[in-house]
Amino acid sequence: MALKAHQLAVREFSLTKQDYNLVDEDERLLFFMLAQVSNELGILHAVLLQALNGVKPYLPRPVRETALGTALYMARLMTNRVTEGWAIISAEKTLKLFDQLWQSVPPNPANGDLYALSVQARDQLEQYFSTPGNLITKIRNKLASHVDRASFAGAYALAPDDLDMTDFHTGMVGTTFFGGADSLQAIAVAHLAGSDKAEDASDRLFRELQSVVEDLKTFIDGFSVAFVIGRFGPDQLSKEPKVLSDLPRARHARVHYFMA
């Protein structure tokens, strides 16, 4: 099926709770957990990319700074789900079930090299998270879920005296963007990244997240395909797709571009 740049082919896979009742409880809950990790990473990634569209030099400064603050916050939130996803994927019972499911899948060219790609992705995740002091783990432990005194005190101490700390007030309740606070948050990220430049540290975090999220999604895709075929039959994934139109051109990025 030849698709245009703003189109996406979507197969609807419909089951009921009665169908899932026939599957072992541990298996179905593992499937749902991994699926939700994928969902939420896709949503956060989509918002992050949308925010980065606002960091263009020709846009007003308040728009640029708010957009960058939004993107960096989405990145910090993503470190939570990435870490939780890895905890599930790295568990021995997950790997055992993954192999069992794929052993039950009949050979099919449509599945291509998904098994091998999933194994490779899992190995790359292992390599990243086994590296002491990796950036995602640092950010997750220190900055993903907390707004604490120590982080701001440390960032303030590291900030140069001439740091621009501009806030943007609209005059409407609840809509002020406090650029000074966001600058300190970016400095805290830079400190954990071992950099004295907040922009370089943010770019590094974005790059590492993109790579790790890609590997997580590849493994989850491989697990889910094997789960569906192994437990509900190959016909479930061979239905005629529906074509969604008028989607953003960046549909090739593995994020939720159903959100037109």
Host domain of residue 45: 8-13+27-157+177-252
**pLDDT at position 248, please?**
63
Half-sphere exposure of 38 (CA within 13 A, CB side): 19
Domain count across the chain = 1
**pLDDT at position 209, please?**
96
Residue 196 has what DSSP assignment?
S
**pLDDT at position 250, please?**
47
**pLDDT at position 258, please?**
53
Residue 170 counted as domain residue: no
CA 135 distance to own-chain centroid = 15
Residue 18 counted as domain residue: no
Nearest CA-CA partner of 57 in 42, 44, 46, 67:
67
Residue 21 counted as domain residue: no
**pLDDT at position 152, please?**
93
Which residue(s) pair with 14 in the sheet?
none
Residue 91 counted as domain residue: yes
Q: What does residue 43 show for φ and ψ, rounded to 5 degrees?
A: -65, -50
Token pair in block for residue 49: 């990319």
27: Cβ–Cβ under 8 A, 6 or more apart, which residues?
97, 227, 231
Asked if 102 and 223 count as a contact pair (C-beta separation under 8 A), the reply is no
**pLDDT at position 252, please?**
55
Residue 78 counted as domain residue: yes
**pLDDT at position 260, please?**
43
Residue 22 counted as domain residue: no
pLDDT digits (tens, 9 = 90+) for 93-114: 999 999 999 998 887 766 778 9
Q: Please list the ranges in the chain whose pLDDT falls under 50.
A: 250, 260
Residue 55 counted as domain residue: yes
116: Cβ–Cβ under 8 A, 6 or more apart, which residues?
none
**pLDDT at position 69, please?**
94
Residue 172 counted as domain residue: no
pTM, two decimals, is 0.88
**pLDDT at position 254, please?**
57
